[in-house]
Amino acid sequence: MFIEIPVPAALPVPSAARPSLARRIARAAPPYLYLAPGLALLVVWTYRPLAQTVQLSFYSWNLLPTTPMTPGGWANYEQLLDLPELGRSVTRTVVVILGLLPFSIGIPVMVGLMTRAVRGRARVVYQALVFAPMLVAPVASAAVWRWLLDPGGGAVNRVLGVDLNWLHETAPSQLSIIGITGWHVLGFAVLVVSAGLAGINPDYADAAQLDGASRGQITRWITLPLLSPTLVFLTLMTVLLSAQWTFPLIDTLTQGGPAGATTNVYYLLWDYGFHSFDAGLGAAAGILLFAGFGLVAAGLVRLTERLTFHDD
């Protein structure tokens, strides 16, 4: 026979024991207060200009304060998509990205693998020498490269034994911009690859070597797969920033020429806004550029997450 024992009901918590709403807000506020200055700057310098650009893309305006903005609807986007210069500039941008990938991935991987054994003070000196071009202002380096590429006896023509006008002929001008930009970013990419290699546990290679794997097999099947998140990151940086990296060199050396051979999407956007004085068309080009590169960035970030999860 079971005897039912009554269980006393839970006593209500006195209202004085519960923290007030103001006290709960005060406890939760400090982390957000630390973030507030950064968030405010992000809104003021990033999201507010982006919203203004979207708004401006639906207007026609010549940048003069005395001239009112005229609503134009989707006319700027329709005009932009009908212009052949947009398609050609996108093609040139793709060429620049493909041309910079050896400087941001291929050569840095080879240099990083070959210099893994460098230690101590020699490593510091080597890293400083490799990174030095990244510290040179693009305009200053452009002046030096203009002298080196001079068709009337520049050092590059003398060393190669050719007679080319590197900055005023269609094919050489694109190669010149890619080469100079690659020289700038090479040091940064080498340091990123070296950091990625330093983060790989050497026990994997030691275990594979005990199993009879050669150095090439270890590099192919262990090192490079573990380095893949770093390589995807460098690819993302190259895709997103290549047009920005080349802009000061193009503006200083070729001004988008000859015959538009070095005009990429970034320089075309600037040309619409500040050469043609069509702020609405330039804003529309900026929005299309933002959307296109945003989709590419989302895909590469997703790929990075998958590779990182696979490595874990």
Q: What is the pLDDT of residues 293-306, one digit of tens each?
A: 888 888 888 877 77
Question: For residues 251 and 190, is the Cβ–Cβ distance under 8 A?
Answer: no
Confidence of residue 312 (pLDDT cuts 50, 70, 90): very low
- 147-205 confidence digits (pLDDT tens): 999 887 788 888 888 888 888 888 889 999 999 999 999 989 998 998 888 888 888 88
CA separation for the pair 31, 45 (Å, rounded): 22
Contact predicate 267/251, CB 8 Å: yes
Rounded Cα–Cα distance for residues 247 and 76 (Å) = 24
Query: Domain spans of the chain?
Result: 75-311
- Cα–Cα distance, 43 to 48 (Å, whole number): 6
* Secondary structure (3-state) at 234: helix
pTM of the model: 0.81
**Percent helix, strand, coil in the chain (nearest 5)?**
75, 0, 25
- Indicate the fold that domain 75-311 takes in CATH: MetI-like fold (1.10.3720)
- Rounded to the nearest integer, the mean pLDDT of the chain is 84
The pLDDT tens digits of the residues spanning 32-51 come to 888 888 889 999 998 998 89
